[in-house]
Amino acid sequence: MNAFEVLSGRGYFEWCTNEERLSQVMNEEMITAYVGFDPTADSLHVGHLIPLMALGWLQRLGHRPIALAGGGTGLIGDPSGKSKERNLITLEAVQHNIEGVKKQLVKFLNFDCGKNSALLLNNYDWLSKMTFLEVLHDVGKYFSINSLIAREYIRSRLEDPEKGISYTEFSYVLLQAMDFKYLNEHYNCRLQMGGNDQQGNLLAGSDYIRRTTGAEVFGLTQPLLLTSSGTKFGKTEAGAVWLDPEKTSPYKFYQFWYNTDDRDVEKLLKLYTFLPLEEISSIINEHNTAPEKRTAQKRLAQEVTTTVHGADTARSVITASEILFNPKIDFAGVSEETCEMLKGEIPFAKITGENFGVVNILSSSGACESNGEAKRAIRQGGVSINGVKITDEKAEIQRDTLINGKYIFVRIGRKKFNMAEFV
């Protein structure tokens, strides 16, 4: 399969320095491509994933990917698309963040598969060795101030006296161009990819290489996604959706994908999964026959959660979702991992003592504010504990029916759900 056609067919292509020639090269030889990330945090978020998925597809099609950590450029900060100056971070913070991101890259790239094994490099290793005079003498003369000022994001900040742009951020494009040249000379890297806000930087790097060594290189951008409602993809009311489970829990991660709008789900299946297009087409056809079943969203959420958090965690998350949204679920066999996961997602309480009366459970778990409210809820017929409907106010739960010997799940009506642990 021609890698360029695959990237284009799945939506990873928006702009290229030379589309026809890059397609030809990809068809004739193994090409080395890189994507850079500035480690401003110790985790990637879903907004980073499109270029990374594009790298993953290139590797699966026989090409070699490089993930470039911006240990050097991260100290500066890329001004592309930014309306104000970034806060500078320390070298120690950058190194810490790189270590966090390393653990996530292996979910998408194979670093031990022979000649096209992925590489993780850090541009601090070469940028830190250059002196200021060397940068000015060997690099700066190839960059026109006129063309840099013409860039929209720079011009807009220059025109606002309260914002402006520092010489530090203004020089970022030189560093990224130096990266591309270094990778081209030392690893025969011929393709740089990034979001479409990187088009100016990619053009500058390609032109710098052409003018200094004459090597043939390419730049290719992926779209910055907006949802059908016009919002930036990957943002929620709580902020960015992170790959780190400590920043975004696997349950919330799964729910983010599950809640995808019908209008977006096919596009996201193509961009964020490694499923073949034929299978995606089949999933969408099935989904369209009964959209209320959310078949496509379930598969999208399952695939991405499995890639990022592993198959076992994905299964636990799916079970957790079933517990909360499927009143007919069988609680037998619910794992300890699923129970631990739900502790952080729904109202949770610990119950001490040996009173297993349902009224006590309802009030002690926080599902009801008082014993009187618990009795009324039972009389109204909307209470179930561990999936069993409760109709008798005097009923007791047997200890041997507790989930994993200690948990109970209380549902009142369709939407109220509480969890408790007997200690």
> For 324-336, what is the mean pLDDT?
83
**For the segment 13-42, what is each residue's pLDDT rounded down to a tens digit?**
999 999 999 999 999 999 999 999 988 889
279's tokens = 């299978």
In the predicted model, is pLDDT for residue 246 greater than 70? yes
Q: Is position 197 annotated as part of the catalytic site?
A: yes
pLDDT at 77: 66
Q: Is position 267 annotated as part of the catalytic site?
A: no
In the predicted model, is pLDDT for residue 126 greater than 90? yes
Q: Is position 235 annotated as part of the catalytic site?
A: yes
Q: Is position 45 annotated as part of the catalytic site?
A: yes
Q: Is position 190 annotated as part of the catalytic site?
A: no
Ranges 154-158, 407-411, 416-420: which has the least confidence:
154-158
What is the rounded average pLDDT for all residues in the chain? 90
| Environment class of 270 (CB within 10 Å of its CB; exposed 0-12, middle 13-18, buried 19+) | middle
Q: Is position 96 annotated as part of the catalytic site?
A: no
Q: Write down the catalytic residue from 60, 86, 102, 270.
A: 86
Q: Write down the catalytic residue from 232, 293, 343, 350.
A: 232
326's tokens = 């499927």
Q: Write down the catalytic residue from 60, 82, 270, 294.
A: 82
Q: Write down the catalytic residue from 24, 213, 231, 236.
A: 236
| Residue 121: strand, helix, or coil | strand
- Which residues, at least 6 apart from 147, have a Cβ–Cβ distance to it below 8 Å? none
Q: Write down the catalytic residue from 38, 42, 48, 260.
A: 48
Band (pLDDT 50/70/90 cuts) for residue 164 is confident
Instruction: Write out the E strands in 331-386.
Output: 348-351, 383-385
Cα 298 vs. chain centroid, distance in angstroms? 17
> For 312-337, what is the mean pLDDT?
87
Q: Write down the catalytic residue from 32, 73, 176, 222.
A: 176
Q: Write down the catalytic residue from 96, 168, 197, 262.
A: 197
Residue 194's DSSP bridge partners are 221
pLDDT at 257: 96
Ranges 59-68, 87-96, 317-326, 357-366: which has the least confidence:
87-96
Q: Is position 84 annotated as part of the catalytic site?
A: no
Band (pLDDT 50/70/90 cuts) for residue 392 is very high
* 349 phi/psi in degrees, rounded to 5: -145, 160
| Environment class of 372 (CB within 10 Å of its CB; exposed 0-12, middle 13-18, buried 19+) | exposed
Q: Is position 60 annotated as part of the catalytic site?
A: no
For residue 339, the surrounding DSSP H or E stretch is helix 336-343
Ranges 143-152, 177-186, 266-275, 277-286: which has the least confidence:
143-152
**CA–CA separation, 148 vs 158, rounded Å?**
11
